[in-house]
């Protein structure tokens, strides 16, 4: 089912079939159905591919900059005269900044056109990368990375509403596909390219390149994106209104469980892969790098496959994907004697998880079509919380028990996430049929 919004005095009319519901915005008290009916339209607006590609490039550059330190950690540590563990906090602070920024960006800029906001976020990323390239010590570099984390998280919080404006709510999944494709491209090409460039222009030069690319992107965003007015009532209470809708809280918790389960395993996947045997002998570092690249390639392919069907099958995928991922984690951990089986599992792991952002964003957009910014914010908060929990808990489990229990814990959380999504769907459907 697909909702149409019309104005009626100070409220909005949500039309579905022959029924009409009136609700005020943003404090919507009526519940949007889980699967709105498609309404006949005079004709679809052509897809604005230049705008979608500019959004894809933004996610590509932001995610590449986020994970660049991991690929150049020892070089950065040497350049700043710190340990590798201390330099790794560049990534940690990015996640923390994202967790803080997601629910507050709407409060800070309640009336700013979202095209202008995304443009300034690209400028913020450029400034962050420039500062990292020139600042002399770790404390200042970490403060600069805080800007990147805020820009990254704010982008994801706004991405659903901008995607819906570009492509229309009925093609939200296809629009979000471009955003998540940028993430997959960053995994497959962005970070490896940055690491390769560091061999020729040093790590500071790589961040200078990232700064220049982000500055050029800001110009492209301003030119290519359509105007996207801010949603009314950008305040924390809107998140509470969204969470109170039947089934939404279960879905938000489910997303956090799925993300935590994945990152529990993926953060320590190298340790698991080092246990692999090929013909009885341990595999080398070059094989591990190849397997990780296969993960990214699988994600890139999966992104386009899921993007073609997400608008129709988002409810099924929200339950099926975590279940499949759980099975793949068990396969990666249990097939250490078979390089072939592990390779297949890694490819499909990437195929399903790298597209999770697409699936969960489509789910949020379809369930809350009249509250896209709060919906996007709840998705981002779930992601950032899951990543931080996985980093803390996973490290403790690995140190105490080894990598096997980490994969088992990840499997359990993924299955629990699938149960929560199924419960969310059942609650929403029960409410709609009353």
pLDDT in tens, 47-58: 788 999 999 999
pLDDT of 45 reads 63
Q: Does domain 236-432 have CATH number 1.20.1250.20?
A: yes
| Side-chain-facing half-sphere of 87: CA atoms under 13 Å | 21
- Closest listed residue to residue 231, CA positions, set 358, 123, 37, 376: 376
* Among 406, 385, 300, 393, CA closest to 56: 300
Residue 23 has pLDDT above 60, yes or no: no
Between these two residues, 258 and 19, which has the higher pLDDT value? Answer: 258
CA 163-167-171 angle, 5° bins: 95
More confident residue, 258 or 294: 258
pLDDT reading at 392 higher than 50: yes
Cα distance between residue 324 and residue 414, in whole Å: 9
Q: What is the pLDDT of residues 305-353, one digit of tens each?
A: 888 888 888 889 999 999 999 999 999 888 777 888 888 998 999 899 8
pLDDT digits (tens, 9 = 90+) for 62-113: 988 987 886 687 788 889 998 866 776 787 787 778 778 877 787 778 788 8
> Is the pLDDT reported for residue 5 higher than 50?
no
Which range has highest mean pLDDT (66-70, 162-166, 185-189, 223-227)?
Answer: 223-227
Domain positions in the chain are: 49-224, 236-432
- Check pLDDT > 70 for residue 416: yes
Domain 49-224 shares a fold with domain 236-432: yes
Residue 17: the pLDDT is 38
Strand runs labelled E in 163-212 = none
15 confidence band (pLDDT: 50, 70, 90): very low
Query: Does 92 or 294 have the greater pLDDT score?
Result: 294
Q: What is the CA radius of gyration of the chain?
A: 22
* pTM of the shown model: 0.71
What is the tens place of the pLDDT at every residue in 197-223?
888 898 999 999 999 999 999 999 999
How far, in Å, CA of 300 to CA of 17, rounded?
37
Higher-pLDDT residue of 208, 393: 208
User: Residue 44's pLDDT is what?
Assistant: 58
**147 pLDDT higher than 60:** yes
Burial of residue 413 (number of CB atoms within 10 Å: 0-12, 13-18, 19+): buried
For 90, the enclosing helix (H) or strand (E) is: helix 89-101
Least confident of 49-63, 187-201, 260-274, 275-289: 275-289
pLDDT-derived band at 30, boundaries 50, 70, 90? very low
Q: Which fold is adopted by the domain 49-224?
A: Growth Hormone; Chain: A; (1.20.1250)
403 Cβ partners below 8 Å, 6+ apart?
268, 271, 272, 275, 333
């Amino acid at each position: 089912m697909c909702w149409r919004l019309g104005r009626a005095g100070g409220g909005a009319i949500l039309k579905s079939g022959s029924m009409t519901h009136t609700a005020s915005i943003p404090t919507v008290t009526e519940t949007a159905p889980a699967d709105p009916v498609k309404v006949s339209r005079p004709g679809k607006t052509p897809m604005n591919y230049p705008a979608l590609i500019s959004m894809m490039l933004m996610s590509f550059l932001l995610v590449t900059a986020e994970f660049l330190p991991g690929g150049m950690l020892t070089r950065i540590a040497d350049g700043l005269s710190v340990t590798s563990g201390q330099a790794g906090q560049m990534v940690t602070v990015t996640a923390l900044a994202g967790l803080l920024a997601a629910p507050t960006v709407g409060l800070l800029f309640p009336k700013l056109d979202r095209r202008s906001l995304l443009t300034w976020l690209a400028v913020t990323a450029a400034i962050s990368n420039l500062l990292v390239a020139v600042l002399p010590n770790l404390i200042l570099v970490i403060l600069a990375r805080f800007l990147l984390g805020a820009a990254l998280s704010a982008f994801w919080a706004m991405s659903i509403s901008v995607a819906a404006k570009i492509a229309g709510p009925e093609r939200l999944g296809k629009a979000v596909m471009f955003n998540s494709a940028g993430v997959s491209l960053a995994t497959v090409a962005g970070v490896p390219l940055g690491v390769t460039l560091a061999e020729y222009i040093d790590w500071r030069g790589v961040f200078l390149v990232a700064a220049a690319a982000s500055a050029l992107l800001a110009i492209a965003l301003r030119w290519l994106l359509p105007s996207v007015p801010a949603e009314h009532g950008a305040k924390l209470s809107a998140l509470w209104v969204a969470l109170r809708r039947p089934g939404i809280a279960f879905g938000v918790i489910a997303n956090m469980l799925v993300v935590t389960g994945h990152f529990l395993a993926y953060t320590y996947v190298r340790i698991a892969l080092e246990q692999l045997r090929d013909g009885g002998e341990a595999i080398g570092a070059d094989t591990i790098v190849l397997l990780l690249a296969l993960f990214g390639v699988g994600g890139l392919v999966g992104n386009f496959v899921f993007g073609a069907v997400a608008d129709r099958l988002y409810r099924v995928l929200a339950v099926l994907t975590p279940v499949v991922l759980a099975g793949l984690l068990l396969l990666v951990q249990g097939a250490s004697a078979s390089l072939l089986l592990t390779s297949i599992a890694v490819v499909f792991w990437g195929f399903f998880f790298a597209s999770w952002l697409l699936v969960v964003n489509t789910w949020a957009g379809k369930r809350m079509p009249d509250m896209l910014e709060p919906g996007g914010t709840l998705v981002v908060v779930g992601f950032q919380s899951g990543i931080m929990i996985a980093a803390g808990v996973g490290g403790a489990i690995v140190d105490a028990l080894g990598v096997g229990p980490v994969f088992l814990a990840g499997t359990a959380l993924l299955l629990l996430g699938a149960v929560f999504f199924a419960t969310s769907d059942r609650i929403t459907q029960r409410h709609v049929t009353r």
